[in-house]
Amino acid sequence: GAGVSQSPSNKVTEKGKDVELRCDPISGHTALYWYRQSLGQGLEFLIYFQGNSAPDKSGLPSDRFSAERTGGSVSTLTIQRTQQEDSAVYLCASSRDRANTEAFFGQGTRLTVV
Amino acid sequence: GESVGLHLPTLSVQEGDNSIINCAYSNSASDYFIWYKQESGKGPQFIIDIRSNMDKRQGQRVTVLLNKTVKHLSLQIAATQPGDSAVYFCAEYTGRRALTFGSGTRLQVQP
């Protein structure tokens, strides 16, 4: 597609349920990032994929969070046993490669845990 | 730890004036510094970057200044327009990991 696509755009889930958030990066982009943004706050780094290298998971807040990137393209962020503090906008971005500083962001998935 | 932060949470300017948004950083090993603009309900959008071996870079109506001595980064917007109203983030990039973002400055342009 023309840009980074995220789905769903909005997700309301009950506390304790698992959720999956999807990101379709720009075709050909080897770098993919997940961030979390709470209301009125900055972007909190979660995880970074670069090509076939092992992902940088250093930003994942707990073991309830995990992410995969299949075939070097689509990525899924999974949150298990969701908590109310997980409520935020989850943003995905991709860039052409690690040496390219321009990252293109999707519109985000707004997650609300009730 | 390493972090990127901002001096002012909100900046209000008159349309047509110049805006200056400031940022402090702590990671001396950063390769690049980048400014992003985020409009309400949208993902951040790349504005301009500057390599760590430069001290100034100009774009269209924007200039980024880097002072490595005091670890300070600024974004100057000339002739600010209502469409410039947004939250601006500075970010740093070390080349080994993803971008690290600051907390953001909200720019409000008064007509």
Q: Residue B51: pLDDT above 70?
A: yes
How confident is residue B5, by pLDDT bands cut at 50, 70 and 90? very low
**Cβ distance of A48 and B98 shorter than 8 Å:** yes
- Range A3-8 average pLDDT: 97
pLDDT of residue A71: 83
Name the residue of chain B whose CA is nearest to A4's CA. Answer: B43
Which pLDDT tens digit goes with each residue over A59-106? Answer: 999 999 999 998 879 999 999 999 999 999 999 999 987 667 789 999
Q: Residue B1: pLDDT above 60?
A: no
Which helix (H) or strand (E) covers residue A54, if one does? none
B47: left (phi over 0), alpha (psi -120 to 50) or beta: alpha
**Cβ distance of A45 and B100 shorter than 8 Å:** yes
Name the residue of chain A whose CA is nearest to B99's CA. Answer: A45
Q: Residue A2: pLDDT above 70?
A: yes
pLDDT of residue B94: 72
Which pLDDT tens digit goes with each residue over A32-68? Answer: 999 999 887 889 999 999 888 889 999 999 999 999 9
CA distances from A65 to A73, A83, A98 (A): 19, 11, 23
**Cβ distance of B43 and A41 shorter than 8 Å:** no
Q: Quick one: tokens of A7? A: 């789905």
